[in-house]
Structure 1
Amino acid sequence: MTDPLSRMLARSPHVLADGATGTALMNMGLGQEPAELWNLTRPAEVARHYRAAVDAGSDLFLTNSFAANASRMRLPGLADQVTDLNRQAAAIAREVADAAGRPVIVAGSMGPIGEFMAPMGSLTHARAVEMFHQQAEALREGGADILWVETLASLEELRAAAEAARRVGMAWCGSLSFDTAGRTMMGVTPSQLAAAVETLPNPPVAYGANCGIGASDLLRTVAGFVASGNERPIIAKGNAGVPHLLHGDIHYDGTPELMADYACLARDMGVQVIGGCCGTMPAHLCAMREALETRPRGPRPTLDQITAQLGAFASARH
């Protein structure tokens, strides 16, 4: 157990991850510019966002580098700043984590490249590895503890990210977004992901699902991971409801109380890394932390119990 997440999981039955980076920065005034540009232009606000997650009880938080790859930074004219954007995202995070007064893990965030992988598209495995490797190297240089690959839709892209992590010698975590009737946009099922991570030369420390549609649907995906028999630690980072625009700010309708219920249901299903995605703010994280620490563990919930507490599934599974 050479990586900090494995060591933390050995000491604790669950780890609380963070919430939404994009939602938080938009509520701080982020406009049309890429969120990652703030690492260079408004580092104090990025640090404030990181500290809010730590102060809310997160044991792990993601760097502001989700879209900072050469492909997605090309359109806004920032492709030549990819290394600086990622390195600075991690450096700001490292300073915040080191000042926390307790162990806090800096997870270097890498999202989808934004192109279709071959043969459906023109993105080759080699080029995908190259772009992920550029990000990973800069995140490592900035002080990230692990790499965190999330919101992917294809196993091919996940394999490219895994190869990049192997090249920089870093432990990593990976999650897909299951937002299309229980599958990813590219048709991957939870059981297929659970099987695929075990075929990698460097399997992730933990794997799972993030974003998607809502908390109920995400836990239905988790049920698929559990049923697969894979005993690798599971990640669950569900959205805090549905977005609405209120007084110029983006708000999600998932209450802190709902996310507290979601966190405990995830824990009772066997999830070890629990966090939130879009719309999950510090108030949600505080409620999740308190619930995880004060509510007794219960039996594994059924799908009916999940929908009774969190609401109906958004779509039928195919």
Structure 2
Amino acid sequence: MTTNALSELLSQRDWLLTDGATGTTLFNMGLVSGDAPELWNVEHPDRIRALYQGPVDAGSDLFLTNSFGGTASRLKLHNAQDRVGELNRAAAELGREIADASGRKVVVAGSMGPTGEIMEPMGPLSYDSAVEMFHEQAEALKDGGADVLWVETISAPDEYKAAARAAELAEMPWCGTMSFDTAGRTMMGFTSADLAKMVETLPNPPLAYGANCGVGASDLLRTVLGFQASGSERPIIAKGNAGIPKYVDGHIHYDGTPDLMADYAVLARDSGATIIGGCCGTTTEHLVRMREALETRPRGETPTLDKITQALGGFSSPSDGTDGEGPARRERKGRRRKG
């Protein structure tokens, strides 16, 4: 594959800062829960320009387009399944406009979130249908000027593979993250070790892979350490939530301060991540401090789990899923015999 903007940056730098939370930012701009953010690409383009401008001004090297729910299956919930091309193209075009005006190399990453349907055999979505939906979205993001496709928040391995195939059909470089939000595993039971192994078996492997969202920043870094432990040499992505979600005055609020996310960014780098950003709750204020910390704090040794929890808070589960202690395991009353 020919060189692209992300490959070039990865060859020049030992870390890149990506963006923060699309949803959090849009809700702060007035998006109502249940509405399709992608419709804003044509209804409120200035708000989407502002969404993209925030991370660029904060020093991000890469930002995601407002197209997370841009597949036909997700847009069907808003009777917009026939507008996949229009909405994704607009998302990328607005991103291209902001990146090109920045005066430096900024990568426009075409966000592709899960289809929202369950893959066969547990659900109705076939692999071929998933490939078709992702491919339609990928071509529109490509037409709009995205530098790379950015598959995120995936929980099923077959859906990840379908997105990889779609990127191949669109002849686009891609990155892909899964969300490890169920005791260190994805909702479908996949572990960090499983993903590290799977990406190397794909006919069209990602430029970088990793984790996004999940529970808190501590859990995400434990997952990053799992990727690192697998011996992976492919660039790793860490896009953790800004602290832990709490329900305050009828809204979900993330308690991670800019200082906490600065600590998280440095710990992510020291844990082996190359592309570092934030997910839910992460604002431009967080990103500014994250950039500053990455630029000014020296690289340290790989952090221990204790160091991570001291800096960022405790884990949501005792296991990261890679030790065979699956998420369903519970302490039983009475002691079990060993051996």
- The interval holding the TM-score normalised by the smaller chain is over 0.9
- How many angstroms apart in 2 are the aligned matches of 1:4 and 1:139? 15
Counterpart check, 1:111 vs 2:113:
yes
- How many angstroms apart in 1 are the aligned matches of 2:45 and 2:289? 27
Change (3 A) 1:248 1:92: farther
1:152 maps to 154
Post-superposition shift, 1:250? Answer: 5.1
1:18 maps to 19
1:257 maps to 259
Change (3 A) 1:250 1:189: closer
2:5 maps to 4
Matches within 5 A, 1:83-122: 83-122=85-124
Q: Secondary structure at the match of 2:136?
A: helix
Is contact 1:27-1:249 (8 Å) kept? no
Letter in 2 for 1:73: L
- How many angstroms apart in 2 are the aligned matches of 1:33 and 1:41? 12
Is contact 1:27-1:250 (8 Å) kept? no
Query: Deviation per CA, 1:34-56, whole angstroms, max 9, x where unpaired?
Result: 11110010010000010011000
Gaps of 5+ in 1: none
Query: Deviation per CA, 1:155-193, whole angstroms, max 9, x where unpaired?
Result: 100000000000010000000000001100000010000
Letter in 1 for 2:21: A
Matches within 5 A, 1:156-195: 156-195=158-197
Q: Secondary structure at the match of 1:67?
A: coil
Letter in 2 for 1:191: A
Matches within 5 A, 1:228-307: 228-244=230-246, 251-307=253-309
Is contact 2:217-2:241 (8 Å) kept? yes
TM-score when scaled to structure 2?
0.92
Is contact 2:243-2:312 (8 Å) kept? no
- How many angstroms apart in 2 are the aligned matches of 1:219 and 1:127? 33
- How many angstroms apart in 1 are the aligned matches of 2:247 and 2:182? 24
CA RMSD, Structure 1 to Structure 2 (Å): 1.2
Post-superposition shift, 1:246? Answer: 5.8
Change (3 A) 1:284 1:69: same
Letter in 1 for 2:5: P
Q: Secondary structure at the match of 2:78?
A: coil
Query: Deviation per CA, 1:52-81, whole angstroms, max 9, x where unpaired?
Result: 110001000000000011001112111011
- How many angstroms apart in 2 are the aligned matches of 1:281 and 1:109? 18
Is contact 1:177-1:210 (8 Å) kept? yes
Is contact 1:214-1:240 (8 Å) kept? yes
Post-superposition shift, 1:93? Answer: 0.3
Which 4+ runs in 1 deviate beyond 6 A? none
Query: Deviation per CA, 1:272-304, whole angstroms, max 9, x where unpaired?
Result: 000000000000000000000001111111111
- How many angstroms apart in 2 are the aligned matches of 1:95 and 1:24? 19
Letter in 2 for 1:99: A
Aligned length: 318
Is contact 2:17-2:62 (8 Å) kept? yes
- The percentage of aligned residue pairs carrying the same residue is 64
Which stretch of the first structure deviates more once superposed, 251-260 or 235-244?
235-244
Question: Which of 224, 227, 230 is the matching residue for 1:225?
Answer: 227
2:330 maps to none
Post-superposition shift, 1:245? Answer: 5.9
Q: Secondary structure at the match of 1:73?
A: helix
1:209 maps to 211
Which is higher, the Rg of structure 1 or of structure 2?
Answer: 2
Query: Deviation per CA, 1:128-180, whole angstroms, max 9, x where unpaired?
Result: 00000000000000000000000000110000000000001000000000000
Gaps of 5+ in 2: 320-324, 326-339
Letter in 2 for 1:184: T
Query: Deviation per CA, 1:97-132, whole angstroms, max 9, x where unpaired?
Result: 000011000000000001111111111111000000
Post-superposition shift, 1:243? Answer: 3.3
Is contact 2:18-2:61 (8 Å) kept? yes
2:310 maps to 308
